[in-house]
Structure 1
Amino acid sequence: MQKTILIVVLLLCYGARGQEIIILDEEDHQPLANVIVYNVDKSKTALSDFDGVCNLSQFDDNERITFRHIGYQLARATKENVVKKGMLYMVHNAEQLDEVIMSISKWEQQRKDIPQKIAVINAPSIAFAAPQTSADLLNNSGKVFVQKSQLGGGSPMIRGFATNRLLISIDGVRMNNAIFRSGNVQNIISLDPFTVRSTEVIFGPGSVIYGSDAIGGVMNFYTKKPQFSQRDSLYISGNANYRFAAANNENTLHVDFNLGKKKWAFLSSLSYNHFGDLRMGSNGPKSYLRDMYVVTKNGEDLIEQSKNAKIQHPTGYEQINLMQKIAYKPNNNWNVDLGLFYSETSDFARFDRLIRPSKDGEGLRSAEWYYGPQKWFMGNLQFYQNGIRKFYDGLKITAAYQNFKESRSDRGFQDITMYTTQENVDALSVNVDFENKRMGNFRLYYGSEFVYNNIGSQGSKLNLVENRILPSASRYPDGSTWQTLAGYISGELKAKPNFTLSSGLRYSHVWIDADFDNNFYAFPFQNADLSTGALTGSLGFSWFPKTDLQLTLNGSTGFRAPNIDDIGKIFDSEPGAVVVPNADLEPEYAYNIEMGIQKNFKNRTTFKGAAFYTYLVDALVRRDYQFNGEIEIDYNGEMSRVQAVQNAAMAYVYGFEFGADVFLTEKLSLVSNLTVTKGEEEEDDGSHSPGRHVAPIFGDIHMVWKNYKLKTDLFVNYNGRISHGDMAFSEKKKTYIYAQDANGNPYSPSWYTLNLRSQYQIAPSLKVMLHLENITDQRYRSYSSGIVAPGINLILGAGFAF
């Protein structure tokens, strides 16, 4: 009798287990928790657990059931069919208005309540595009323009602003430091794209939350989190990836490993990249070819003709990225997260400086010009508390330390002296952020921030004949400091179910202390002691006059306080010009207004549009200057025109951004983006010149087909032309990076590329990819870039999850 009962129990258990299915995201095959399952009259319901597992035993075999999850299309099937497969894949909605956004307030907000334009790039999209660097990650979105001076770089442009007028944030910590320059920066490549789980790009000023530098936009990178175990047993998972790209012989290896208990979780990540010299395309301007370069033989510089002029030598480099995350959850009200990041590159050439012609136009100006190893370390400790308290419901305390190391070395052709500057920046920051959501339909966010930067800078010159190193002028005042203290408050009021009002204020104060070394230059001042502040604000609304129509309007201000790069830098900005310090600077200030519209047609087609206008006053720009009454001084052995950063201009930028997401069938969709930007800045004589960082018209059109195993994307990228008359004055001088029009003047030609990406899921744990980029082998150079883009490029990759 007991044996019979045992058999019956086992059969019942087996039968119940046979009623279970797993529900997965159709793009990344990750389990979906909290999927609601119900029958026609909703008399029976079920819910998927953390692992995406859902028990359907209460439903009849022929009963038609519905699967619902926020942000996904409804899925319907009979129980019998879905149980046979054992799994169900759910597809994202055309536009996820219920998507949660972190960037605007540093707390979770629904996207539909936010008046600013935000682009979200999620982990599946990043994995499918397989970017080489985080700069390429942004470029692949089709919404951010990226300039490249060399292969080891990438400088985003957003709404006519770039470099130190854009802010980069990683897990809530600002990466911008006191030596971020107005010229192109490559710090963004320090972040490993394999570790990014989501990127949120704010278009327009974000100074209320992020302070100085957030004039044109904010790029927030959120890295992957350690996963806790939902059971008593140890949870183990991980990923291994390999990627090869033919255009620069890239070889990339990545591995990450997760260990999770109920209260502790650990995530370790390692990536290694090897990039060779980049090959350009075959069809385009001949002036882009790398037909000669400098070699040094027996201590003598010689011009050598290139055997293959499409190979851009030298551009290759190596990089390693490490990440360690530790998470501790003592109870439901507290979380403690520690993130450790380290990135290091090899030396890499600044390619645009190596192709500058000599004064006679017959040779090359530089024999060597390279950045030393770019090193970045960040330790980020965050405490998070939730639960009802007297003045808040959520508290975040973020303390971070970063260290940046970089150097520059350059030597003129047949010059026996190599000039080197080395920089070391220590950056400390503390953020305290509060959330209060207990006041009915009003949510309040407030907090404070303190940032401190200490800059170390050394200069030297190496005599190659005597092999002797002597001190030289440093790039920045050694031992200088930059610090800011700020407080902010912002609120979100849901005045009606279809109308949300948002506003905020922030006051930031900035201090600079820099002592100048007169051993090499007779500065007309001994130090720069700056103390300045700025008040910024925002006001906007999101309105749904109909459930499928959204209108937004937002006004905001932004500012950028002078940093050490503005006040204390000495460097050669261009052939025959040198930038010198200027201690008399004030913050630049931006006023911005933007309007947006979004229309959803039956949850299958979404059209989006935004128009913006930004006015910048007291703009910090490089202009001709006098140093001790002289308009020219000797710099590294050459008489050079004196320039300095000054509050000498105003500028304005305006434009339009369009997007469309169309689900043609359940498997076929169309995605398109278009950005049009125009802008001008004031020159010394009162005339106006096109803005230097105003990108050409750019956009893309994607045709995407996918099922639960295969995803393919056939797409076109395109950039418009910038004629000679529409180029910034400073760009016209860079004749060596531009094509020539019929009149022999430099200009930036239009271009397009045809591309194909594909990814196949061989098994739930194994996927492979094959991409073919620039199929027609176009030879093109993105606007203001020193390096020519890749020609036809075969990319192969594989990923294994365990």
Structure 2
Amino acid sequence: MQKIIFFIAFLFVQIVFAQQITVLDTDTNTPIINVAVFNSDKSKATITDINGTCILDGFRLKEKIIFKHVSYELLKKTKKQLIKQDYKVFMEMKPNELDEVVMSISKWEQQKKDIPNKITSIDAKSISFTAPQTAADVLQKSGKVFVQKSQLGGGSPMIRGFATNRLLLSVDGVRMNNAIFRGGNVQNVISIDPYTIKNTEIIFGPGSVIYGSDAIGGVMNFYTKKATFSTIDSLAVMGNANYRFSSANMENTIHADVNFGKKKWALLTSVTHNRFDDLKMGASGPDSYLRNYYVERVNNEDKLVNNTNPKKQVASGYNQINVMQKLAFKPNNNLKLFLGTYYSETSDYSRYDRLIRPNSNGDGLRYGDWYYGPQKWFMANFQLQKKGNGKFYDGLKITTAYQHFEESRNSRNFNALDLVSTKEKVDALSANIDFENKKIGDLRLYYGGEFIFNKVYSNGLETNIETKETNVAASRYPHGASWKTVAAYVNGEYKAKPNFTVLSGLRYSHVWIDADFDTSFYPFPFDNERLSTGALTGSLGLSWFPKKNLQVTFNGSTGFRSPNIDDVGKVFDSEPGSVVVPNPDLEPEYAYNVELGIHKNIKDIVVLKGATFYTYLVDALVRRDFNFNGASEINYNGELSNVQAVQNAAKAYVYGFEFGLDAYISENFSITSNITFAEGIEEEEDGTDTPARHVSPTFGDFHVIWKNQKIKTDIYLNYNGEIAYNDLASSEKNKEYIYALDANGNPYSPSWHTLNFRSQYAISSALKTSLGIENITNQRYRTYSSGIVAPGINFILGIGYKF
């Protein structure tokens, strides 16, 4: 009798519970509400509840079950397939979803269609498919951001003619730019682990109203994965394991993350390790790019060694580890607390463009060693999110963070014994408070304040590589210098009509610099720098839908960049025979920007997107010739060098257009394409014009994509235009060794294109494999202003398991 009762109970459980399925977002593992579930003739139908679940009573084992949601791709499964998938269904967001939500403009969720700025979003699904090696590659593979690389361990984005410290990086709402972000190429973006990115939002054009100093050319916001709460009463465990291999640099990457979630708390741990060997370039291209010889230390003497494989870029490899730990607590539905810690560290890695720099005679190499010490980044970030009916707000965010940055530079001239090293550390504290107010009719207000404090520690050292004796040397920056800012902002979104939205904002920022200079190595004509300066910035934008399928946007905005410690206090060799010295007499630079955008949807089949922009920069902080104690030349590291300094010595303007096309030809077949064109000029004080340094060549891509529920393939073309000798910036003309030579023997950046293929195959809902072939025709090319030559033909293999 007991056996019969047990059997009946077992059948009951199977009928009631085994047929309960859960529908989840494939990227976030969060439940999807209001998914329609029905058969082909709609005689059987149900809908998912708040937990993303529904019962499949009445559906036959082999009957096609259709899952439909307005924001997700249509999905078809049989009950038999669902049993194999443990009654879990994963749905993918539509790529052309018109009601996409963005966070970057106000730090709160807003409908993208109401935003006048151009914003590009790159989600975790896209990142997984493109299989980037670093976060810099995440940006580059979008087809909308140009990335420069001085070495393999690098990636300096360029947006609308601006780069480095005129672009702002943000991770989970925390500013990553620090007081020593330089005007030269900045590689800090590689500290962000692509495997942890949930979404990246790129603002094109000034973003200073919300983000303050440095946000002149654009803002890159990286939102990492959050610890996920459980939707059931018991502990939910989920995670990912990934492996990737690339043949061009024999990359081996291993990643794992695991999430433990209850209804009120959750814990996420992520670890990634990368190993990159020396990068191999392509077979067809300029011979001047080849690595014909390199330096090797033999019997206490530097020797030029012939490279047996000139396509191998010797000394370009490096390793990296990234660790992230997230903790989330939800005491009730209106309050959430988040704690995140992040750590990234590279091995030593060579600055490749310096290693290939010829000596003054042209018969050898200038350096025996030139490498960066480990690039380290640590961040601890605490955030409180509260929603409800506060007197002055409907939403409140308080974000506090501590960051520690560490980097060093180590160089030694060919056959010299002294290795000159400078080591920098920055401690950065920040606090932000942001409010959202939706109480005033059709007006939504966002306002808040910010405080940032940076402390810079800098030391110099000379080491005899034979005797190991050390001596104190000049530091790169004034040791103990500080940079701080206090700011307040207000941003408003007003829906004047259902088809017309106005977005406007103001921000005031005040910046202080406090630096004391060490005159024991250089007789500076000043002892300290006490800078105090303010900046007011604003924006006004319009989003208008004259027709349901046509959007017109206009945006006018200002941006600024206040001088930092790198501008006012740096001593370094910018190029052979030149040295940059401190200049305490600096003011902020300002940008004035206008842009017009059009977004046309043709029958939900073709989407055309275009934008044109013009940005004018005044009081530009640029490096120019300078007098130091009345002298135009000083001795630096044993060499008589021309003196330069950062000065408010120029104006500049950049203009261009960006165009994108998405064509959804069928359920399985689509085409996408992007192209970006920009021109930029710097106007000198004497009235002469020169090409701007960080204006990229014309670049774009073209993709032909086919997919079904199991496989996705992409055949695509990447291309870059030429930059002729006369269009190179003056600083680039002095770098013949990284450029090809034209018919007149002058350096120039040739045009190039590559044919590529990538695919992803879902063996099951849990197991995916990927295969990519980049640069199929094995072209030898170097992207504009880069030191490292791009990979030749490159086979990329990957496997990922989700549990």
TM-score between the two structures when normalised by the length of structure 1: 0.96
User: Is the CA contact 1:489–1:506 (under 8 Å) kept in the aligned structure 2?
Assistant: yes
Deviation at 1:741, TM superposition (A): 0.5
Counterpart CA distance in 2 for 1:622 and 1:162 is 15
Counterpart CA distance in 2 for 1:71 and 1:631 is 64
Alignment of 1:153-552 (within 5 A): 153-552=154-553
Deviation at 1:160, TM superposition (A): 0.3
Alignment of 1:641-790 (within 5 A): 641-683=642-684, 685-790=686-791
Identity across matched positions, percent: 63
Over 3 Å counting, the alpha-carbon distance change for 1:388 and 1:61 in structure 2 is farther
**1:35 counterpart residue number:** 34
1:107 pairs with 2:108: yes
Counterpart CA distance in 2 for 1:29 and 1:492 is 29
Q: Aligned with 1:287: secondary structure?
A: helix
Counterpart CA distance in 2 for 1:293 and 1:10 is 73
Counterpart CA distance in 2 for 1:384 and 1:417 is 53
Per-residue Cα deviation, 1:561-618 (whole angstroms, up to 9, x for no partner): 0000000000000010000000000000000011111111122221100111000000
Q: What letter is aligned with 2:33? A: N
Deviation at 1:690, TM superposition (A): 1.1
Deviation at 1:70, TM superposition (A): 4.2
Counterpart CA distance in 1 for 2:219 and 2:238 is 32
Over 3 Å counting, the alpha-carbon distance change for 1:50 and 1:543 in structure 2 is same
Per-residue Cα deviation, 1:406-439 (whole angstroms, up to 9, x for no partner): 0000011111111100001000000000011122
Counterpart CA distance in 2 for 1:530 and 1:31 is 49
Alignment of 1:112-131 (within 5 A): 112-131=113-132
Over 3 Å counting, the alpha-carbon distance change for 1:58 and 1:449 in structure 2 is farther
Per-residue Cα deviation, 1:54-92 (whole angstroms, up to 9, x for no partner): 334489999999754343356699999999997767554
Q: Aligned with 1:356: secondary structure?
A: coil
Q: What letter is aligned with 1:370? A: Y
Counterpart CA distance in 2 for 1:29 and 1:323 is 17
**2:629 counterpart residue number:** 628
Deviation at 1:48, TM superposition (A): 2.2
Per-residue Cα deviation, 1:686-723 (whole angstroms, up to 9, x for no partner): 21111100000000011111111111111111000111
Deviation at 1:52, TM superposition (A): 4.4
Deviation at 1:30, TM superposition (A): 4.9
Over 3 Å counting, the alpha-carbon distance change for 1:584 and 1:136 in structure 2 is same
Structure 1: 5+ residue stretches without partners: none
Over 3 Å counting, the alpha-carbon distance change for 1:84 and 1:350 in structure 2 is closer
Counterpart CA distance in 2 for 1:472 and 1:77 is 69
User: Is the CA contact 1:623–1:684 (under 8 Å) kept in the aligned structure 2?
Assistant: no
Q: What letter is aligned with 1:571? A: F
Counterpart CA distance in 2 for 1:43 and 1:436 is 46
Q: What letter is aligned with 1:34? A: I
Over 3 Å counting, the alpha-carbon distance change for 1:5 and 1:531 in structure 2 is same
User: Is the CA contact 2:36–2:69 (under 8 Å) kept in the aligned structure 1?
Assistant: no
Q: Aligned with 1:315: secondary structure?
A: coil
Counterpart CA distance in 2 for 1:522 and 1:682 is 32
Q: What letter is aligned with 1:48? A: T
Q: Aligned with 1:390: secondary structure?
A: coil
Deviation at 1:227, TM superposition (A): 1.0
Q: Aligned with 2:151: secondary structure?
A: coil
Counterpart CA distance in 1 for 2:472 and 2:575 is 23
Q: What letter is aligned with 2:32? A: A
Counterpart CA distance in 2 for 1:260 and 1:427 is 31
Over 3 Å counting, the alpha-carbon distance change for 1:120 and 1:243 in structure 2 is same
Counterpart CA distance in 2 for 1:551 and 1:482 is 40
Over 3 Å counting, the alpha-carbon distance change for 1:77 and 1:777 in structure 2 is closer
Counterpart CA distance in 2 for 1:302 and 1:3 is 85
Q: What letter is aligned with 1:334? A: L
**1:54 counterpart residue number:** 54
Over 3 Å counting, the alpha-carbon distance change for 1:3 and 1:463 in structure 2 is closer
Over 3 Å counting, the alpha-carbon distance change for 1:553 and 1:267 in structure 2 is same
Q: What letter is aligned with 1:542? A: S
Per-residue Cα deviation, 1:387-406 (whole angstroms, up to 9, x for no partner): 11101111111110000010
Counterpart CA distance in 1 for 2:536 and 2:28 is 46
Structure 2: 5+ residue stretches without partners: none
**2:600 counterpart residue number:** 599
Counterpart CA distance in 1 for 2:254 and 2:65 is 43
TM-score between the two structures when normalised by the length of structure 2: 0.96
User: Is the CA contact 1:89–1:708 (under 8 Å) kept in the aligned structure 2?
Assistant: no
User: Is the CA contact 2:759–2:772 (under 8 Å) kept in the aligned structure 1?
Assistant: yes
Counterpart CA distance in 2 for 1:406 and 1:566 is 18
Deviation at 1:3, TM superposition (A): 10
Counterpart CA distance in 1 for 2:508 and 2:354 is 40
**1:71 counterpart residue number:** 71
Q: Aligned with 1:136: secondary structure?
A: helix
Deviation at 1:541, TM superposition (A): 1.1
Over 3 Å counting, the alpha-carbon distance change for 1:501 and 1:179 in structure 2 is same
User: Is the CA contact 2:90–2:765 (under 8 Å) kept in the aligned structure 1?
Assistant: no
Greater CA drift, 763-772 or 469-478: 763-772
Q: What letter is aligned with 2:184? A: G
User: Is the CA contact 2:27–2:92 (under 8 Å) kept in the aligned structure 1?
Assistant: no
Deviation at 1:4, TM superposition (A): 9.1
User: Is the CA contact 1:376–1:405 (under 8 Å) kept in the aligned structure 2?
Assistant: yes
User: Is the CA contact 1:611–1:657 (under 8 Å) kept in the aligned structure 2?
Assistant: yes
User: Is the CA contact 2:33–2:51 (under 8 Å) kept in the aligned structure 1?
Assistant: no
Over 3 Å counting, the alpha-carbon distance change for 1:253 and 1:5 in structure 2 is closer
User: Is the CA contact 2:283–2:779 (under 8 Å) kept in the aligned structure 1?
Assistant: yes
Counterpart CA distance in 1 for 2:84 and 2:184 is 59
Over 3 Å counting, the alpha-carbon distance change for 1:240 and 1:598 in structure 2 is same
Greater CA drift, 31-40 or 663-672: 31-40
Deviation at 1:167, TM superposition (A): 0.2
Deviation at 1:18, TM superposition (A): 6.7
Counterpart CA distance in 1 for 2:718 and 2:504 is 37
> Number of aligned pairs?
801
User: Is the CA contact 1:445–1:489 (under 8 Å) kept in the aligned structure 2?
Assistant: yes
Over 3 Å counting, the alpha-carbon distance change for 1:409 and 1:144 in structure 2 is same
Over 3 Å counting, the alpha-carbon distance change for 1:261 and 1:738 in structure 2 is same
**1:571 counterpart residue number:** 572
Deviation at 1:20, TM superposition (A): 4.5
Deviation at 1:682, TM superposition (A): 1.6
Per-residue Cα deviation, 1:438-478 (whole angstroms, up to 9, x for no partner): 22221110000000000000011112344311111100000
Q: Aligned with 2:762: secondary structure?
A: strand
Q: Aligned with 2:142: secondary structure?
A: coil
Q: Aligned with 2:676: secondary structure?
A: strand
Q: What letter is aligned with 1:376? A: W
User: Is the CA contact 2:216–2:559 (under 8 Å) kept in the aligned structure 1?
Assistant: yes
Q: What letter is aligned with 1:657? A: E
User: Is the CA contact 2:777–2:793 (under 8 Å) kept in the aligned structure 1?
Assistant: yes
Greater CA drift, 274-283 or 680-689: 680-689
Counterpart CA distance in 2 for 1:638 and 1:308 is 34
Over 3 Å counting, the alpha-carbon distance change for 1:599 and 1:93 in structure 2 is farther
Deviation at 1:207, TM superposition (A): 0.3
Q: What letter is aligned with 2:144? A: K
Q: Aligned with 2:122: secondary structure?
A: strand
